[in-house]
Amino acid sequence: MCEYKNCKLCPRECGIDRTKVVGACKATNKVKVALASIHNFEEPCISGDEGSGTVFFSNCNLRCVYCQNFEISRDGFGKEITIERLAEIFLEQQSRGVNNINLVTPTMYVDSIIEAIKIAKKNGLTIPIVYNSSGYEKADTIKKLEGYIDVYLPDFKYATNRLSLKYSGVNNYVESVVPAIHEMIKQVGTPVFNDKGIMTKGVIIRHMILPNNVLNTKMVLKKIKEEFKEKTLISVMAQYFPSGDANKYPEINRKIIAEELQEVENCLNELEMENGYIQEIGEHEEEYVPNFDLSNI
């Protein structure tokens, strides 16, 4: 059993005994999951036609005020399960014909996930495994995952710790995300796709545009270009809508507008960053948020 008795998995390094108390992430020593589903709204090379086999973990090591999954990430909704049951869920997802197993917000449970992957692979798991995270990671924790993860899908949220402290409650985001992504690239290399166009190896860096924060987006894109060259895909998301506690922050209490998206597109062109995706502004961004009802758990 993974006991997490001196937990330093994430850059917060709480060092607490999760068998007795919880740290900032609110996770105990038991895996907690809110939903296992077939998700069709990831990047085309992740979802494809068959969908991505998402497993949404409860709790989070960030406390983003605008989190669109706040019901599970901040409020902790979900069900505690065993490592053996997690392995079964992976296999059940595979049996549904999905392209991959997509681990959403998995950081707090890395040790348990590794054990579950071992069990699942012994019992026939063969499809790629995607590690879908906030980017607030320790490189040493990512090193543990070498050989278990095929595709990394990290966020790169902020270019300054002033914003990460204001909106996510941490003052060391920037110095954490860069080495973590370097380690991800070191493990899985440049993107590899199968004959259906589905990514089987590689890294996609995600960034969501925040309203009234286009400068942050430009700085993030420039940093990605400088640090990672053409070794990853980039996915720029315009699906932001006010959620969680965003109404307490007037500057982000609205959706993205066309002028902001155009400014970001111009920046991408100036940086000659063509390897990836950029979302269009939709009318019903809320549809991207799943119904967390413990299905298939």
What fold characterizes domain 31-288?
Answer: TIM Barrel (3.20.20)
Residue 10 pLDDT greater than 90, yes or no = yes
What are the pLDDT digits (tens) for 209-242?
999 999 999 999 999 999 999 899 999 999 999 9
Domain ranges of the chain: 31-288
What are the pLDDT digits (tens) for 139-178?
999 999 999 999 999 999 999 999 999 999 999 999 999 9
Q: Phi and psi for 101 in degrees, rounded to 5? A: -100, 120
How many Å apart are CA 286 and CA 39, to the nearest integer?
A: 14
Residue 1: predicted pLDDT = 57
Cα angle at 244 between 136 and 203, to 5 degrees?
30
What are the pLDDT digits (tens) for 282-293?
876 777 789 999
Sign of CA pseudo-dihedral 244, 52, 210, 261: negative
CA-nearest of 88, 89, 102, 108 to 31 is: 108
Residue 172: predicted pLDDT = 98
Q: What confidence category does residue 135 fall into, taking pLDDT thresholds of 50, 70 and 90?
A: very high
Q: Phi and psi for 8 in degrees, rounded to 5? A: -135, 35
pTM of the prediction?
Answer: 0.97
Residue 283: predicted pLDDT = 72
